Amino acid sequence: MLHLTPNMLTMVGFAGVCLAGWLMIERYWLAAGFVYVAFSLSDSLDGTLARAQGRSTTFGAFLDSTLDRVAEGVILGAIGVTFAQDGTSWAVGATFLALLSSFIVSYSRARSEGLGINDNRGGLMGRPERLVLTGCGIFLAPLGNVLELTIAVLAALSTLTAVYRMWFIKRSLDATEPPPA
Positions annotated as catalytic residues are: 68
Contact between 12 and 49 (Cβ < 8 Å): no
Quick one: pLDDT at residue 47? Answer: 78
d(CA 134, CA 87): 20
Quick one: pLDDT at residue 88? Answer: 97
Quick one: pLDDT at residue 43? Answer: 74
Please give the chain's pLDDT, 181 residues, in tens. 468 888 888 999 999 999 999 999 999 999 999 999 999 887 778 777 778 888 788 998 899 989 999 999 999 999 999 999 999 999 999 999 999 999 999 999 889 888 888 877 778 898 889 999 999 999 999 999 999 999 999 999 999 999 999 999 999 888 888 777 7
Domains of the chain in start order, with CATH, are 6-175 (1.20.120.1760)
Quick one: pLDDT at residue 123? Answer: 82
Contact between 115 and 58 (Cβ < 8 Å): no
Half-sphere exposure in the Cβ direction for 62 (13 Å, CA): 3
d(CA 153, CA 102): 12
**Separation of CA 83 from chain center:** 19
Residue by residue, DSSP assigns 49-96 as HHHHHT---HHHHHHHHHHHHHHHHHHHHHHHHHHHHHT-HHHHHHHH
Tell me the pTM: 0.91
Closest-CA residue to 42 (of 66, 8, 65, 78): 8
d(CA 18, CA 155): 21
- 91-97, long-range: CB < 8 A, 24+ apart: 91/147, 91/148, 91/151, 91/152, 94/148, 94/151, 94/152, 94/154, 94/155, 95/151, 95/155, 97/155, 97/158, 97/159
Quick one: pLDDT at residue 1? Answer: 47
Quick one: pLDDT at residue 2? Answer: 65
